[in-house]
Chain A
């Protein structure tokens, strides 16, 4: 089963910066309120996957992307499993997916 999270429709067309204290629609808000709960639900279920759809927004600050996917990488640890469980869709900016995958691979310091 595949669930799609469209950032534009399920979160905001105007994603913000890094933390909640930076302003509305931050990376922290998206990760904690939307992405992590969904991933927690499907993490141990081998038949469930998530597609994160980046299209339809006004764009992404580097801090938004790095906050979401560094936290993801830090919390869920298994990077290859993350990449199996989550598909990334970005037809409007294909290079964004490469940037996300690089961020997931980046070494996290606790």
Chain B
């Protein structure tokens, strides 16, 4: 047998090691794919079983409060979603019992929609729910477009107003100025019977600021992007248009903290004696004196712009911002209310009303 040179021997050893490693990697990938497919089939089977008969699958039945509203019943509403989150994280199926709900506000239905469509929260766990018995509330859910996003046995309804239903966009893609324009125009047409774009400037600017904030800040420092959800709900009887814009990201304050990491001793001391400087932070943001999270000139003016528009426009009523542990309520010619809440609201929610009656 011919003797192989040392150089060639080393070459063959390296090549066989490389082949061995790449074969192992290939096997590992195949095995992982098989397991993932199997898990996916199990999840689908479980979801089908749960959909056919909830009693056949172990689940948590969560009863929504009668006053199911972040604006009017913040504590109980947040607690409801916290229980759902815990259930999903334990991979226990959830049955959302909305039958007892007598009052449901638009920001809550928007949040419910965003919540159940959030794959990170739901974690491939089956869920189901029922409708409120109360006719007004049931009608509101249908008109909001909630059923555009979930499977339902309900017959498909004719869509009269696509700009008055829940809209979802993945913010990895874009801020959508044309869509914001159409929504703002549709809103002033409903509330004021006007098509003059001079009347919608403040609404349009608020929408663009909200979209830009989500796209750029909902993920903190991560590359991951988040969805935004928007509902401009038109009340036929009162001509009021109620807006809700939200994302289930990390929230304004967690985002600022991530980008402005400051573990100095002075900050730690401050946290001991002034445990919640989020209130001060938001007050400074409203006043335009808070530095942006990226610390560059001309930045961080989005929320300040939203605040100023609300203060100047007497038709925009009751702007409410909920993020992390802060709730702020501001409006034209009224004193600001900025309070600490007991829970940590993950994400940011803006709610405001266009009210021609006041």
Contacts and interface: CB of A to CB of B under 8 A. Distances in A.
Interface in A1-28: 12-18, 22-25
A58 B209 contact: no
Interface of A is mostly: loop
B212 A13 contact: no
Contacts of B209: 61-63
B299 interface: yes
Nearest to A8: B197
A16 B197 contact: no
A15 B177 contact: yes
B304 to A, nearest CB: 7
B31 to A, nearest CB: 38
Interface stretch (B11-19, B137-145, B178-186, B324-332): B178-186
Nearest to A93: B201
A81 interface: no
Interface in A41-65: 56-64
Given A58-B184, A62-B305, A109-B296, A18 B200 contact: no
Interface string B285-305: 000000000001111011011
Contact of A61 (B176, B296, B305): B305
Interface string A56-84: 11111111101100100000000000000
A17 B211 contact: yes
Interface of B: 173-178, 180-181, 184-185, 197-198, 200-202, 204-205, 208-209, 211-212, 215-216, 296-299, 301-302, 304-305
4 pairs of A and B residues whose beta carbons are closest in the complex: A66-B298, A23-B174, A23-B175, A59-B201
